[in-house]
Chains A and B, each alone.
Chain A
Amino acid sequence: MMSILNALVYLILAPVLGGLVAGIDRKITARMQGRVGPPILQPFYDVAKLFEKEDVTVTPSQNYYILSYLVFMAVTGALFFAGGDMLLVIFAFTLAHVFIVLGAYAAYSPYSYLGAERELIALMAYEPMIILTAVGLYLVTGSFYVSDIAASTVPVILYLPGVFLGFLTVLTIKLRKSPFDISTSHHAHQELVKGLTTEFSGATLGKIEIAHWYETVVMLGIVYLFFGFNPLLAIIVIALVYLLEIFIDNTFSRMKWEMTMKSGWGAAAILGFLNLAVLYYFYLGV
């Protein structure tokens, strides 16, 4: 059931793919704002430059947490693409996130501290919906294993439209897109500087970027699972979804953290739970 080969391919290709997505993101964002924008490969140049910089820290232990963050983010994706248990993937994902939050706490700096607290709020906001997504996929396909879900010929999206919308809501939080970029904002200097990542520089900041690329690929992988019955359609939808996220990012201003909580939990409680309830009591045994 588990494919080690897939996991290895993921470990090597995901950063490339994730970096490209980031590059395209920046390009499209720039076009939406009427700018030319950087070259598509710019994220790679940026990260390469970060790795050449001097190692500056507030406390050395913060580097340990970030290394752990990167490692467990890679593990999460590897588990996912190896076709592992969806719940285990989610738990590994949470573990990875706890590490980056702890890294920000470790520095004992006001900005990173605030970012860490807000990242935790974000984590609390999206986690229920992600678990309900896994539960929904299980109810429709009868398995928690990503390999089984991906191979399922059932048009999952028809049974889980609400869950899919709910997942898109938390995807915005997850990708740290506006209006939910409460923990690390490019646009909130007066309030956050760079929040969570304020105290990271050089190679460590580079690792955070790479981890984020890994993360993006996994999140888009989950989108794929809703359309696994038709791979071509799935890829088109992924592209559309990402485009939508960029659009949302550019049209909304950042909101307060209360809004993040309400959106994440509201999506889980209304879209996710209602959808699943209907499924559970009317269509069970699909």
Chain B
Amino acid sequence: MASVWLLATSYARGAVYYAVPFEPTAQVMFAIEMGIALLLLYLGFRFKQYLAVLLVLVQSAMMLVYEFTMSHGMEPVNNLFCDQFSIIMALIIGIIGSLIALYATRYMDTYHGHHPEVRDRRRFFFFVTFVFLAAMFGLVFSNNLSWIFFFWEITTLASFLLIGYSESEEATNNAFLALKMNLLGGIAFAGAIIYLASVDPSGGLLQLDTLITSGQAAAIVPAVLIAFAGLTKSAQMPFSSWLVGAMVAPTPVSALLHSSTMVKAGVYIIVRFSPVFLGSLAGLAIGFVGAVTFLVASAIAISQSNAKKVLAYSTIANLGLIVACASVGTPQLVWAAIMLIIFHAVAKSLLFLCVGTVEHRTGSRDIEDMDGLIVRLPRIAVMMFIGMAGMFLAPFGMLISKWAAIEGFINTPFGLVFVTILAFGGALTVFFWTKWMGKIIAVTPFGESLESTISRQKWVVLSCLTALTVIAALFFPLISGALIEPYLLDVFGATARLAQDNIIIMALMISLLLVLPFSLLFYAKDGKRMPAYMGGREVTPDLHFTGSAGIERIMTTRNYYFADLFGEKKMLRVGDPLCILLILLAVAILAGAIL
């Protein structure tokens, strides 16, 4: 609610900076950081995760050095700020985050019903969830890098605690995996802060706005370090495994991680730094990490039949696209990146919550078991359908952004490679979404409605998110005009958007899409129903037929998964080394710049 109020009151003002006293707050933050470090050390020893312990020690040592030898006499003035991009992020965190939290209240009841072995720590769960959301707000409104870092670390901790919620061995291991990878990013982030403090002891460069406008020469080193932190947080290859592993957590946690918190923090910071990357080789290298991730993750999504895994890989892919757009950094690409963030947040949260509901009702999250969902859970199936359409179909959101990305990349250096990757990745995306859509809309002659068992609270949340998906697609020119374009004008001195007549056409297409379902009313009236063609065999209504040698069989259908072509392991063997190489390339360019 507060975020909507913020939009209403401040979108026209442009960037506003608030001078908040630095010293007392910074000390409190430092104390909390050290407390977190101690907690992590304790947990690390308890679960024998010594690599995590080592990383915590390194990071704490860096922060101690910074705090005791460098931070004295530093007086950054404008520590908080608010501009259009922060507002967009705040809206995402506020609206979608709250909806997910609301959904989680009911979900957790059912969850504990289904999992009696999990210790009931619901209070703890919701406490961490709200700390998580609060930290996200802090992150997007902070203008001081050391504050951003503080909130950054809190999101790392929160996701660590939430992923490990069930306390099973798998959950604990995956939580530590996420922790380790994010700590790596944290160390890079701390490195950026120390670098800046040593370059400019007055602390002026620690202010995000000053740093970004200070030009590439001064800002590229911290920008790359922070972008590295962004890559770990947004689960780009080779760090993608933590987000996939995070699926062991209850579904609302996945929805939170994927749509309104964690990974969005990673891309947020990279988008922030895109003016610094514009025209730099290091930016290009990071952009390619995103592009490769987009392609490889889309391919892996084809080979997965676990619904949450498909969603996870499609998130990783989309974040890759955002990273690619933001690191190349022309105004048009940044426009596309911000649009991607918005549309992804809405559609992906909807899909996660739908899958969570389906899993609780039918007992499976496997796509192969979603045959005829339209019969068993008609409204949920329609919502999932809309969510998936939002992910890849014209004229919905993600496609608008992909389109802008193609047009944006084509005029940049190496743009052709980016465009080709987009063309192939886009085709892969169409494949795995459509086959899943096909599964859920298949009208099976068996199955009965299970919908009456879903609580009203969940319906409210799901309906809101569905409505948001459609509204975002219908009114994206408004979002663009009111928030994104002014932000771009502010930052780049230039702006970008799609041509007006195209927008009109897309609005017409969406209206058409909304009208066409009414044709069903017309068709349902008359017409003869026949069973499906089974090669002339006798078939019972539930699709049993007599096969050869008189054995009765049931007709079943399975999607293609191409595990031998696009298998997870096989693709990661290509993607991970490639991305590591690209990151090393960025580092090498940096080293060259420093020396």
Contacts and interface: CB of A to CB of B under 8 A. Distances in A.
Interface of A: 1-2, 54-64, 67-68, 71-72, 75, 79, 84-85, 87-88, 91-92, 94-95, 98, 101-102, 104-113, 116-117, 120-121, 123-125, 127-128, 131-132, 135, 138-139, 144, 193, 198-199, 265, 268-269, 272-273, 276-277, 280
Most buried by B among A54, A101, A135: A135
A108 B516 CA distance: 22
B205 to A, nearest CB: 38
A128 B505 CA distance: 23
B499 interface: yes
B502 A102 contact: no
A58 B532 contact: yes
Contact of A60 (B419, B527, B533): B527
Nearest to B425: A128
Contacts of B505: 79, 84, 88
A131 to B, nearest CB: 4
A117 B560 contact: yes
Nearest to A90: B394
Contacts of A101: 434, 438
B435 interface: yes
Contact of A102 (B394, B434, B516): B434
Interface in B361-411: 371-372, 374, 393-395, 399, 403, 406-407, 410
Contact of B512 (A75, A87, A193): A75
Most buried by B among A1, A61, A75: A61
Nearest to B501: A2
Contacts, number: 187
Contact of A127 (B419, B426, B516): B426
B270 to A, nearest CB: 25
Contact of B530 (A58, A106, A138): A58
A9 B560 CA distance: 41
Contact of A95 (B394, B428, B443): B394
Interface stretch (B54-62, B92-100, B518-526, B586-594): B518-526
B445 A64 contact: no
Interface string B424-442: 1011101100110111011
B509 interface: yes
A173 to B, nearest CB: 12
A277 B443 contact: no
B535 interface: yes
16 contacts: A57-B528, A57-B529, A59-B529, A60-B523, A79-B505, A91-B394, A106-B442, A108-B442, A110-B555, A120-B431, A123-B430, A124-B431, A128-B427, A131-B419, A193-B533, A276-B420
B24 interface: no
B113 interface: no
A67 to B, nearest CB: 5
B519 A198 contact: no
Contacts of B527: 55-57, 60, 63
Contacts of A2: 501
Given A95-B394, A101-B438, A71 B557 contact: no
Contacts of B517: 64
Contacts of A112: 532-533
Contacts of B394: 88, 91-92, 94-95
Sorted nearest first, the 3 A-B pairs with minimum C-beta distance are: A109-B532, A105-B438, A91-B394
Contacts of B509: 72, 75, 92, 95
Contacts of A277: 416
Contact of B523 (A1, A64, A105): A64
B116 interface: no
Given A60-B527, A92-B394, A276-B416, A105 B519 contact: no
A79 B527 CA distance: 33
Contact of A113 (B416, B526, B557): B557
Contacts of A108: 371-372, 442-445, 532, 557
A88 B395 CA distance: 9
Contacts of B443: 58-59, 61-62, 106-108
A117 B502 CA distance: 31
Given A1-B501, A61-B441, A127-B426, A144 B407 contact: yes
Nearest to A55: B527
Contact of A268 (B424, B428, B502): B424
Contacts of A94: 393-394, 430
Most buried by A among B423, B444, B535: B423
A117 B430 contact: no
Contacts of B437: 98, 102, 105
A87 B406 contact: yes
B531 interface: yes
Contacts of A128: 420, 423-424, 426-427
Interface string B291-321: 0000000000000000000000000000000
B559 interface: yes
Interface in B509-560: 509, 512-513, 516-517, 519-520, 523-524, 526-535, 555, 557, 559-560
Interface in B440-470: 441-445
